[in-house]
Amino acid sequence: MAMPPRSTRTTVVDLDALRTRRGADLRGQLFYGLLLVSVVLAFAMVGSVFWDVVDKSSDIATTRFWDFLTSPSSSDPGKAGVVQGIRGSILIAVIVIMTFPIGIAAAIYLEEYAEDTWASRLIQVTVRNLAGVPSIVYGLLGLAVFVQLLRGITGGSTVISGGITIAILVLPVVVITAGEAVRAVPGSLREGAYGLGATKWEVVRTQVVPAALPGILTGTVLAVGRALGEAAPLLVIGAVAFYTTGNNDFLEQMQGAFTALPMNIANFAKEPAESWRGHAATASLVLLVLVFVVNLAAIVVRARISKKLGR
């Protein structure tokens, strides 16, 4: 039987390859379209929420915004403010940030120093599971340990107990994100440093940590954002949702009753009078601005670090 000409066989093969490429390209375009739709829907949902908050807070924002920021809680809608909530949220954020070196150090140890044993794998699995535990469980932990067991140190239901509880809540997130950032550092950096005679500590300090710092910073910003928005653990610990006297300075708020912006928002939202709806929206706007400022500061720092490293 005579074989078909070589040119004919080549044409058939090329047509099959072309059909395959067209099919793959069509699936790629469909996938790209789904990604675009997902991004648009995500931005639409976030934008609708933000617009609703801005719209409902417009009255207070245009008439007494500064007074709202600097006034304490009050049962009178015309005098109520969130200065105590802002102070409480800032204090909690400071306590949370102070614990970040612990999470970063744990991530570096697990990625750079710990051997691949069942114990280290168990620790990593446990950390990832803790990141998904509901926040109310951490609130119960804080109530049992920091409010009751360690009352002599923390003072009971104080901002110290709340800050430590929130710090424990976000610590697994810090460990996971910092570990991923360290793992993403190219092995060639380590090998080059070792080739020049550097020790393990010198490699980690001069190569791994600086290269992973932008990613680590991103994880810490996410953790701070979550810490500022948590209300359930504070509610369990005993944060005050509404009060009219006391707590007018940082020292008193460290030693006694405290509140935070999420507690103010929850309290304003549950008030039956319609006049409180604007207070809840304005407090939400203040919290969004606070989180935005934290993110902006982290972006600036990350950009400077990346520029310094030439990335």
Give per-residue pLDDT as tens, 39-63: 999 999 988 988 988 888 888 888 8
The answer to whether residue 87 is domain-embedded is yes
- Assign 23 a pLDDT band (cuts: 50, 70, 90): low
Residue 195 to residues 25, 69, 112, 182, 284: CA-CA distances in angstroms? 45, 57, 17, 20, 54
Residues 258-275 have a mean pLDDT of: 84
**pLDDT tens sequence across 145-172:** 999 998 888 888 888 899 999 999 999 9
Query: Which pLDDT value is given to residue 110?
Result: 92
Has residue 88 been placed in a domain? Answer: yes
In a domain, 3, yes or no: no
In one letter, which amino acid is 217? Answer: L
Give 292's pLDDT tier (boundaries 50, 70, 90).
confident
Tokens representing 69 are 């920021």
pLDDT computed for residue 39 by the predictor: 93
Q: What's the pLDDT score for residue 273?
A: 78
Per residue in 60-98, pLDDT (tens digit) is: 888 888 999 888 877 788 888 888 888 888 889 999 999
Q: What residues make up the domain containing 118?
A: 58-309
126 located within any domain:
yes
Q: How many domains does the chain have?
A: 1
Whole-Å CA distances, 155 to 101, 140, 149, 308: 25, 17, 10, 44
Write down the mean pLDDT value for the chain. 83
Q: Does the pLDDT at position 10 exceed 50?
A: no
| CB-based contact 287:265 (threshold 8 Å) | yes
CATH number of 160's domain: 1.10.3720.10
The answer to the question of residue 206 being in a domain is yes
Q: Is there a domain that residue 46 lies in?
A: no
Query: Is the pLDDT at 245 greater than 60, yes or no?
Result: no
- The predicted pLDDT at position 16 comes to 59
Report which of residues 56 and 272 the model is more confident about. Answer: 56
Is it the case that residue 25 has pLDDT exceeding 80? no
104: Cα within 13 Å, side-chain hemisphere? 22
Q: Rounded to an integer, what distance in angstroms lies between the CA atom of residue 219 and that of residue 108?
A: 14
Q: What is the mean pLDDT of residues 212-226?
A: 86
Least confident of 112-126, 243-257, 280-294: 243-257
pLDDT at 15 over 60: no
Mean pLDDT check: name the lowest of 60-64, 135-139, 225-229, 304-308. 304-308
100 half-sphere exposure, CB direction, 13 A CA radius = 21
DSSP the chain: -PPPPHHHHHHHHHHHHHHHHHHHHHHHHHHHHHHHHHHHHHHHHHHHHHHHHHHHTHHHHHHSHHHHHH----SSTTT---HHHHHHHHHHHHHHHHTHHHHHHHHHIIIIIS-SSHHHHHHHHHHHHHTTS-HHHHHHHHIIIIIIITHHHH-SSSHHHHHHHHHHHHHHHHHHHHHHHHHTS-HHHHHHHHHTT--HHHHIIIIIHHHHHHHHHHHHHHHHHHHHH--HHHHHHT--S--SSS--SHHHHHHS----HHHHHHHHHH-SSGGGHHHHHHHHHHHHHHHHHHHHHHHHHHHHHHHHHT-
Checking if the pLDDT of 284 tops 80, the result is: yes
Q: Do 305 and 106 touch, CB atoms closer than 8 A?
A: no
pLDDT in tens, 179-192: 999 999 988 888 88
1 vs 51 pLDDT, higher one: 51
Confidence at residue 247, expressed as pLDDT on a 0 to 100 scale = 47
- 22 alpha-carbon distance from chain centroid: 42
Q: What is the mean pLDDT of residues 202-211?
A: 89
Between 66 and 248, the more confident residue is: 66
CA distance 106 to 117: 16
Q: What is the pLDDT of residue 103?
A: 93
Q: What is the pTM of this model?
A: 0.81
